[in-house]
Amino acid sequence: MSDVIRCASCGQLNRVPDLGSGKRAVCGQCKTPLAAAAAHNGHPVELSDSNFKSMIGNGDYIVDFWAGWCGPCRIIAPVIEQLASERNDVHFAKVNVDENPRTSAAFGVQSIPMLVFFRNGAEVGRVTGAVPKAQIENAITRYFH
């Protein structure tokens, strides 16, 4: 199984297969790491069961576990979008729990929205619920600085 990811640097569409641990997806045209490029285009990158591990391996990531039917998820989504456009010190990503059950189960996601903070692929913290922007910013400071 593979996903198609648009490179934020050059616009090229890239088919990204399920990569083994330690491998990173790069754009076939400009060679930019796809997760880094997508996460810095002002929007969270969509992750899946097939690309999750390869995409969050390097750097600081906040992953929003969410579902389309979840009211609190819809409340916090604009906050995540705003933070993604404002901050360049952390990557933002989203995982739809209904479409990606393996990743959701691997992290024991039982309540959504759930923000999981990763540093170089290792979980360093969590925030659950539709929390205010200031609380997410405090968590960024606590977990990454």
Active site residue ranges: 70, 73
- Listed in sequence order, the residues at least 6 apart from 65 whose beta carbon sits closer than 8 Å to its beta carbon are 94, 95, 97, 104, 107, 109, 112, 113, 114, 115, 116
Report how far residue 141's alpha carbon sits from residue 143's, in angstroms, rounded to the nearest whole number: 6
Asked if 97 and 65 touch (Cβ cutoff 8 Å), the reply is yes
Locate 88 and state its tokens. 């360049």
How remote is the C-alpha of 1 from its chain's centroid?
19
